[in-house]
A and B are shown apart, each in its own frame.
Chain A
Amino acid sequence: MADQDDQPSRPAADIDPHLLAFLRTRVNSFIKWDLVRFFHENVNTVDTAENIARYTGRDVSAIAPALQELVEANVLNKQDVSGITVYMLTSDEATRALIQRFILACEDRQFRVKAMYYMVRGMA
């Protein structure tokens, strides 16, 4: 029998509303979650979609659209460097602080379970 704590009846109810909005509108897939964590941990990374795919152990066909959506969500910046498209973490301090809070919150298992539940429900 599964642990009842793993099945929150109202997963979004006690998530910080700012983090909930971040999850719902900006990090609404597991690939984007991975990418946000990657850029948080390697904060000065500047690289192409192909190389970021290699660094995160994923296929570029999956990574490229997620990177673009994170750019549109102002989580990442995109730049053209002499014909090479590169991605980097946003320089916006407020967004960086929100990412920091999100990553810190993810260290708590209960938060992770709730966030994953919410994300799966949102993806359905």
Chain B
Amino acid sequence: MIERKATGIAGLDAMLNGGFLPESAILVEGAPGTGKTTLGLQFIINGITACDEPGLILTFEEFPQQYYRDAAGFGWDLRALEAQDKLRVIMTSPEVTLADLKRTGGLLEQQAQAIGARRILVDSLSHFERIALDQRGEHDRLAFRETVFTFINALKRLGLTAILTWETATLLGGLAGEPGGKPVAYLVDGYILLRYVEIDSVMRKAMLVLKLRGSDHAKDIRQYEITPHGLVVESRFEGRQGIMSGNAVPSMAQAFDRAFGRPRRD
């Protein structure tokens, strides 16, 4: 039986047939506030507490203190885990990370080896865009692909299973936007979309596992909530269509029922 890296989010693990495959790189894409970092933190916390797999959190721009504070809100004590050598929260920049990972025995490799890390949260991969520029200082698609490809392979070389977050600018919809329209989507082993959805004037959250290389996975769109204990994945959206566009509408059957009432069976 193939080993799986459970996220500790029961509903998501069910969608993933138990979890991610070892040494895979999973992209988690969503708008601000959709819970990308929380999902990643749960993956790391679950690895440490339930699977005896130490982890790294690699942050670009966001201060480690922010993670300590956010995690504490869910009851996760990152400082204590660091003190136990189960976790390292590392702040650096994409250019330093990339240069470091290309070396043998680099700083990140040393940190991973020091605690026996098996999992990593990279928050966020979007920052690599600013180092993949052409001579005019404009985004270079090929250079970006090469950069991300090298980065992902270096993480795999270190034996890490990675969650890579990607922030989208648009709050609603945007399925065909970044990074779907960029090469990242093709380079990763898994791709999870987190979306806001407006239903009856209420904002809900939707999750879809778009891709999981080498494994079957659920294809339906699930509702989820960010609770005081982390992400909780709930049932699929029933009677709605256009969920990932951000503006769900009743399905034909639902609309018929609403207009004419559900036919009585007696």
Contacts and interface: CB of A to CB of B under 8 A. Distances in A.
Interface of A: 41-48, 51, 55, 79, 81-84, 86, 88
Nearest to B64: A42
B64 A44 contact: yes
B96 interface: yes
Contact of A84 (B63, B96, B111): B96
Contacts of A83: 99
Interface of B: 63-65, 82, 88-93, 95-96, 99-100, 102-103, 106-107, 111
Given A55-B63, A81-B96, A81-B100, A42 B91 contact: yes
Given A81-B103, A81-B106, 12 more contacts: A41-B64, A44-B64, A44-B111, A45-B64, A45-B92, A47-B92, A51-B92, A81-B96, A81-B99, A82-B102, A86-B96, A86-B100
Nearest to B89: A44
Contacts of A55: 63, 91
Contacts of B89: 44
13 contacts: A41-B64, A44-B89, A44-B111, A45-B91, A46-B90, A46-B100, A47-B93, A51-B92, A51-B93, A81-B103, A82-B102, A84-B95, A86-B92
Contact of B96 (A41, A42, A43, A48): A48
Contacts of B111: 44
Contacts of B65: 41-42
Given A42-B65, A43-B64, A81-B107, A48 B99 contact: no
Contacts of B64: 41-45
Closest A-B pairs by Cβ, 5 of them: A82-B99, A44-B90, A45-B91, A46-B92, A42-B64
Nearest to A41: B65
Given A79-B107, A81-B107, A46 B96 contact: yes
Contact of B107 (A41, A42, A48, A88): A88
Given A41-B64, A51-B93, A55-B63, A46 B99 contact: no
